[in-house]
Amino acid sequence: MQITITNEDIEYAEKILLPANKHFDEERRNFITNLDTIDLQAVPGSGKTTALLAKLIILEKKMPFPDGSGVLILSHTNTAVEEIQSKLQTIAPKLFNFPNFVGTIQSFTDTFLALPYYAHVHKTHPYRIDDDIYFRRCELALKYKYSSLTWFSYRPHKVQMTTLLTAKIDQNGCAKCINGLKNLKCSTAIKIAQFKYDNVKKGFLTYNDAFEFANFYINDNPRIVSIFQKRFKYVFVDEMQDMHSHQIKLLDALFYTSGHTDEQQTITVFQRIGDVNQSIFGENDSDNSDGSTEKADNSGKADWKPREHLTLLGSHRLSPCTAAIVSSFAVEPNAIQGLRKNADGTAIDIKPYLFVYKKENIKTVIKKFAHLIYKLQNEGKLPMTGSYAAVGWRKSILDDAADNKLGISDYYDSLCAAAASTKINYSSLTDHLLAVDPHKKHLETMRKSILNALLHILYMQKIQDKHGRYYTIRTLFKYLKEETDIYELFKRNLFRWCKQRINSEPVEQTIHNIQAFLPDFLQAVSLDNNLININNDTYLFITNPTTIIQNNKPTGQEQINTYSISGIDISIKTVHAIKGQTVTGLLYMETYNSSMHESNRLVDCFIHKKFRKTAKTKKSGMMYKAAKTVYVGFSRPTHLLCFAVQKERFDKYLSNIDRAVWDIIDI
């Protein structure tokens, strides 16, 4: 049965997703009704996620499908997945039940491919798929095992770590790809491959290892491709620009090919959604705050290359002025149509601003931004309520010769890099209890964080199960239930600790309760049931204070990385941190990266209003990265866009900028 999406279906979705009397325009309707294999190239603020949600709501209404198939919805980050869940969980609940799946590309790969294949080969489950844990094992290996190897002794620590972290082996444990080594049969390659193989056998895998196992599974059992295509009739992948090449190839192998045969047509509708100009989260695009210029892969080009595709060029976030500026930084040309208006329907009448500051006045740039906001609010050009941010590419430059190499910290002395994140392991028990986002303190999230802390304690104590493997959450519960008499007590305590944190009771009380239970827990889990002496690593882990900065202080207290004046709060962060967000006004502060600042690296974009793909561009790749980073930063604000440039660089590179487009303020 061929499913079609009608005008009535779209009206149904509009009533759920859009304000009263608002409707999807033709661009979005074309995508919503399309059920062919196709890509969608969407500009910032185009409402692509809303259009995707509309399509999903409509498909959910038509479930169950006659052939018993389902929908697969993938994204690159947990944040994007959580957004889909928060908006659809109650209005389209069938999407979150079998045979459907909603998750990240990593969780999909782990659940359906890597874990089953690993269990089939090794007859057990891996201990953990986690880069942080594997990183620590590499550090220990370099310190105690490979320090005497000649090949390692002549290379910096960063290269040594990269070599161990990225080493690939085949299914027989032989070296397949080792960074920096061409001869994969030399003694060094053999030892590195053995290190990798030993870790795999013990269940320590990196995130990329999961994709290796997924490919092993497909190569050994090509028939599973048709099984996946029958299970998932419709596949939607958001944030495609952030997918790495190995992730793209895996999805293509499952849903774009036709079961590895030429005769059979692919039965899955496979739609990929993103903006190739926003691909700033490549494998080597992280913020290297040490100022390192080491080039692992500076192509700067997106791994995702849209095939036959639809476009969304209308931006409901950007004003016409801002849209024209942002379009100038698009490495793949697209003429963004700025559709944003004021709340009363009038045009937004604010040109972008250039803050040209003298070197000695750099600390006043953010304050000047705040004063401009205040002025425009009083003139009625900015709403009296709104959100504001000051962003840059690099946090700081840790370099003795960095006097003229700017980072965000040069504009804002109080920049604090430490912040809560979603890692699996932290440096202390306190961090595990505080790491959960205060706005997402769900029982399951808190439970998992505490359990990961307990597993880390067992790892530091070198307590293993009867098979000589470190415990996982599943094997820990299985052992406690079948082999000990503390299982019910453990569950009650775990529930109590979670409730204490969810109810925001003092963290010290929860730590004290866990510390008090720990001796009985360790004795029960140890195979010989003897009392366990807590070693120094464990003692430090359970007693050390937190290293996480909590940005959830009560009203009236100073917030971290926030500049406040006259009732205006300006959030200070990196461009990577603000990606995907919308603000009322944004200040982009130029920073230094690989020998240049944005003002001199992107002169063509600022002056000639287009990105030029020259031979020099293709060679360095940093122009691609810089243009995409500015593109992402500039496309966040709805009303006010500002760019801060040091006067010396303005005079040298940007003095011919179009003053009919930019307003210039000297600082």
Which residues have C-beta within 8 Å of that of residue 318, sequence separation ≥ 6? 44, 45, 326, 336, 338, 339, 340, 635, 638
Highest mean predicted confidence (pLDDT) among 254-268, 344-358, 438-452, 614-628: 344-358
The yes-or-no verdict on residue 257 having pLDDT over 80 is: no
Which residues have C-beta within 8 Å of that of residue 159, sequence separation ≥ 6? 179, 180
Rounded CA separation 218/208 (Å): 16
**Residue 287 — pLDDT band, cuts 50, 70, 90?**
very low
What is the bridge-based pairing of β-strands 269-274 and 232-237?
parallel
Task: Give me the percent of the chain exceeding a pLDDT of 70.
Answer: 88
The arithmetic mean of pLDDT across residues 284-313, rounded, is: 59
pLDDT digits (tens, 9 = 90+) for 361-383: 999 999 999 999 999 999 999 99
The yes-or-no verdict on residue 194 having pLDDT over 90 is: yes
Amino acid at 576: H
Q: What is the mean pLDDT of the chain?
A: 87
Give this prediction's pTM: 0.80
**Residue 141 — pLDDT band, cuts 50, 70, 90?**
confident
Rounded CA separation 308/195 (Å): 44
The arithmetic mean of pLDDT across residues 643-662, rounded, is: 95
**Residue 288 — pLDDT band, cuts 50, 70, 90?**
very low
Exposure class string for 543-573: b at 16+ Cβ within 10 A, else e = eeebebeeeeeeeeeeebbbbeeeebebbbb
Higher pLDDT among residues 291 and 221, named by residue: 221
- Which residue bears the tokens 């986690």? 130
The arithmetic mean of pLDDT across residues 242-261, rounded, is: 83
The yes-or-no verdict on residue 573 having pLDDT over 90 is: yes
Task: Give the residue among 1, 4, 53, 3 at the shortest CA–CA distance from 24.
Answer: 53
Q: Do residues 369 and 570 make contact, with C-beta atoms less than 8 angstroms apart?
A: yes
Amino acid at 658: D
Q: Is 43 annotated as a binding residue?
A: yes
Same fold, 7-111+215-312 and 319-417+559-666: yes
Q: Is 49 annotated as a binding residue?
A: yes
Q: Per the omega criterion (within 30 degrees of 0), is the bond before 333 cis?
A: no
The arithmetic mean of pLDDT across residues 294-319, rounded, is: 76
Terminal alpha carbon distance of the chain = 66
**Residue 298 — pLDDT band, cuts 50, 70, 90?**
very low
Give the domain ranges of the chain.
7-111+215-312, 131-205, 319-417+559-666, 429-543
Q: Is 269 annotated as a binding residue?
A: no
pLDDT digits (tens, 9 = 90+) for 168-180: 999 988 989 988 8
Structure tokens at 3: 């499913």
319-417+559-666 folds as Rossmann fold (3.40.50)
SS3 494: helix
The arithmetic mean of pLDDT across residues 45-73, rounded, is: 96
The yes-or-no verdict on residue 510 having pLDDT over 60 is: yes
pLDDT digits (tens, 9 = 90+) for 9-26: 999 999 999 999 899 999
Q: Is 42 annotated as a binding residue?
A: yes
Predicted local distance difference test score (pLDDT) of residue 399: 55
Q: Do residues 599 and 654 make contact, with C-beta atoms less than 8 angstroms apart?
A: yes
Phi-psi region of 68 (alpha: psi -120 to 50; beta: other; left: phi over 0): left
Q: Is 44 annotated as a binding residue?
A: yes
Rounded CA separation 593/572 (Å): 19
The yes-or-no verdict on residue 285 having pLDDT over 50 is: no
Among 436-445, 488-497, 509-518, 520-529, the range scoring the smallest mean pLDDT is 436-445
The yes-or-no verdict on residue 553 having pLDDT over 80 is: no
Q: How many CA atoms lie within 13 A of 57 on its CB side?
A: 25
CATH class, domain 7-111+215-312, is alpha beta
The arithmetic mean of pLDDT across residues 76-99, rounded, is: 91
Predicted local distance difference test score (pLDDT) of residue 439: 53
Largest CA distance in the chain: 79
pLDDT digits (tens, 9 = 90+) for 386-441: 999 999 999 876 554 556 789 999 999 877 654 444 555 667 888 888 876 555 55
Rounded CA separation 168/178 (Å): 6
SS3 579: coil
Number of H helices, E strands in the chain: 28, 21
CA 122 to chain centre: 31
Rounded CA separation 541/428 (Å): 4
Rounded CA separation 563/574 (Å): 15
The yes-or-no verdict on residue 574 having pLDDT over 60 is: yes
**Residue 619 — pLDDT band, cuts 50, 70, 90?**
low
Higher pLDDT among residues 76 and 583, named by residue: 583
Predicted local distance difference test score (pLDDT) of residue 302: 64
Rounded CA separation 331/449 (Å): 41
343 by Cβ neighbours in 10 Å (0-12 / 13-18 / 19+) ranks as: exposed
Q: Is 47 annotated as a binding residue?
A: yes
